[in-house]
Structure 1
């Protein structure tokens, strides 16, 4: 559960309101997103008609992000706030309430998307399993649904530029379709598509492109793996000949390195968030990077 905002934080926020105005282009729709992937979606659709910032750049932990006074100010001055939902940003509701922006358009992009369960990343609330895996954007078909929702809300706020938003959306969706087809063609040639995942961010990605996640180092968000679980993974890797362990740049690399030393499997670093690694500044470049890295590592 998110921690209540302290009086110190509120005071810092009030000072920020006085001192730090939002650096927005004139006559644009001001959008704040929780994650950099959402920032990229908004930028691709809104282009010159939006000023968009992300609270999380890519290297922070979206599950346990600590709010800052500048976040409250940004949302207070925004026209639109875009989130994933699905239990990922447990702090987002508190942020919206603290910003006290009565005209804010809040977009929860997981709306209407079927969440995968039993993937090792079920998010909980009050001790009960209430959410599925929230890493929906790693499947481009889910991304297309999220993009359409963003486009609809931008048009609601700025009907004067409706034609531009729709044209940009159509162009972007075509780009995603072309990219998907290319990735599937490349992956299809790969005989062994199995890997161990450090953090269970990859089931949507694996399902879409034909990879197989054999196991996860971290079974549940926020829980360290037990010695028994790690021993089971070592035995599984040795028995099945798994060659690759997929980690992410924001995660502690100690355990993947231990597993690699024990089994000979190679640790590779992918990213679930644009901008977290060189050459991944956009959603599409991130997908290309991840697939190319996996193909290079898994190829015979």
Structure 2
């Protein structure tokens, strides 16, 4: 076996070159990681309530965009080019599911974002008749927060502990709010109201208020004259004096029913930001309760 003398001078140069290459790669990786942390997790959601949940979990670590602002109707929304671009740049996309956002699948396909993590926030909720407005029950809201939190952890495991800590704190606030609302609405337990759209089904059920009838059960479809007469007859027979509607819906039909029955129309909301003083989910529920109680006091309906 032939032994070759080691060329220490040349080996030192090789080692130095390798060291420089490795150092350069490490610096590049560190800079990329730092840039990623500086830019934050890019989250796109379909409706404002999901944005509020995400914001309470992620805080300053995320950038958040809600496709629906609160003034549109999620059922009939038509995505714009800016929505496609937002999904194309997103790390995490959160929707409610249950058929609320029928346009979401096509939006994701058009965006062509292969690294996008998608979450259906309603996947662990208690569902009533496939009604998608699940977040109006605070217990469902708690479950949705957990699902969104885990989506963030998947997309950004580096901050997993912080996301979990923030979610736990927010859930405590939600549970405290639940107790406050239950106490405020206790006098209405067993009472009946009529809704224009089924946006408050979960909310009313949670606090023991009967949803005696819904004027429009199919989004975007006008009620028949026969159905309106049935609702009016029911309200007269049972002395129902409250009609609960949302700001996204035209006031014409609720006003007509109110004139026929002597009822009061209450405009509440299921989407944060669509009424004054409802910028967050918690503020929204507080304002809804305030409006319902104020209407009950002035309607003559027994408390």
Specify the TM-score bucket, using the shorter chain as the normaliser: 0.7 to 0.9
Q: Select the residue among 45, 64, 82 that pairs with 1:52.
A: 64
CA deviation vs aligned residue, 1:176-232 (integer Å, no higher than 9, x gap):
010001111111133663211001111111111111111011022232101111111
Corresponding residue number in structure 1 for 2:143? 145
Aligned counterpart for 2:241 among listed residues 217, 238, 243:
243
Report Cα offsets for 1:60-106 as digits up to 9, x if no partner.
01011111000000000000000001011000000000000000000
Q: 1:163 deviation in Å?
A: 2.0
Q: Distance in 2 between matches of 1:52 and 1:25?
A: 15
TM-score where L is the length of structure 1? 0.85
Question: What residue number does 1:29 align with?
Answer: 41
Which residue is equivalent to 1:6?
none
Q: Is the 1:81–1:106 contact (alpha carbons within 8 Å) kept by the matching residues of 2?
A: yes
Contact 1:38 1:82 in 2 (8 A): yes
Q: Are the equivalent residues in 2 in contact too, given 1:25–1:51 (CA < 8 A)? A: no
Judging changes above 3 Å, is the alpha-carbon distance between structure 1 residues 25 and 193 closer, same or farther for their aligned structure 2 residues?
A: farther
Is this contact kept in 2: 1:193–1:298, CA < 8 A? no
Instruction: Find out whether 1:230 has 2:228 as its counterpart.
Output: yes
**In the aligned structure 1, how far is the partner of 2:191 from the partner of 2:57?**
33
**Aligned pair partner of 2:103 in 81, 91, 106:** 91
Aligned structure 1 segments of 4 or more residues deviating by more than 6 angstroms: none
> What is the aligned partner in structure 2 of residue 173 from structure 1?
171
Q: Distance in 2 between matches of 1:209 and 1:163?
A: 34
Q: Could you tell which deviates more after superposition, 96-105 or 184-193?
A: 184-193
In structure 2, the residue corresponding to 1:242 is in which secondary structure?
coil
- Counterpart in the other structure of 1:282: 280
Q: In structure 2, what is the Cα distance between the partners aligned to 1:94 and 1:25? A: 30
1:244–1:265 contact (8 Å) kept in structure 2: yes
1:113 paired to 2:125: yes
Q: Where does residue 290 of structure 2 map in the other structure?
A: 292
Give distance in 2, aligned partners of 1:165 and 1:89: 26
Indicate how the Cα distance of structure 1 residues 292 and 25 shifts in structure 2: closer, same or farther if over 3 A, else same.
Answer: farther
Q: Is the 8 A contact 2:48 2:272 kept in 1?
A: yes
Unaligned runs of 5+ in 1: 1-23, 118-131
More helix by share: 2
Q: Indicate if the aligned counterparts of 2:245 and 2:265 stay in contact, CA closer than 8 A.
A: yes
Label 1:191 to 1:109 Cα distance change in 2 as closer, same or farther (>3 A): closer
CA contact (8 A) 1:192 1:298 kept: no
- Structural RMSD (CA): 1.4
Structure 2 runs not aligned, ≥5 long: 1-35
The match for 1:76 among 88, 93, 108 is 88
Deviates more, 1:209-218 or 1:272-281: 209-218
CA distance in 1, matches of 2:173, 2:243: 30
CA distance in 2, matches of 1:235, 1:156: 53
Give the Cα–Cα distance (whole angstroms) in 2 for the partners of residues 73 and 220 of structure 1.
31
Whole-Å Cα distance in 1 between the matches of residues 89 and 149 of structure 2?
Answer: 20
